[in-house]
A = this chain, B = another copy of it.
Amino acid sequence: MKEIQTVWPVGVKKTKPRACVLSVLEHAESPLSAMDIYSRIEKDTSTVWLSTIYRILELFVEKGVVVKTTVMNNEMAIYELNHYQHKHYAVCVSCRKIVAMNNCPMEKFVPKLADNGFHVLGHKVEMYGYCKECDPNP
């Protein structure tokens, strides 16, 4: 497995399970669920218990190294490295693939949102539709 090895999060003790989880996330092409991470670890190195993975992910999220999301009103949470980039997701309703979007429609919108007396700290945008491969009428 290729070594990418980003900087290790500060104040986090370096253990094998944590290194495994981080490594999987570094090599991931899209956000992964805890279960995804679990199965990808098993392949090469040591086994890491699922509950441990949840604990590690929780820690990484807290440290800001990882971002947790859920899409499509259901099922599992997904995790990815925090690239400190404002990002949103599009989910294919057919194959469930998750496509990350880079441009954000909220930039111009949020500032004029004080009308409801709601102080916006953050937001989440999610789109659903067909990815290139699944579109029945492209």
Contact = CB atoms under 8 A, between A and B. Distances in A.
Interface of A: 68-70, 73-74, 77, 90, 92-93, 99, 101, 105-106, 108-110, 113, 116-132, 135, 138
Nearest to A125: B125
Contacts of A90: 116, 118, 120
Contact of A73 (B70, B117, B131): B70
Given A69-B73, A125-B124, A118 B93 contact: no
7 contacts: A118-B127, A118-B131, A119-B131, A119-B138, A120-B128, A121-B128, A125-B126
A128 B119 contact: no
Contacts of A121: 93, 128-130
Contacts of A92: 118
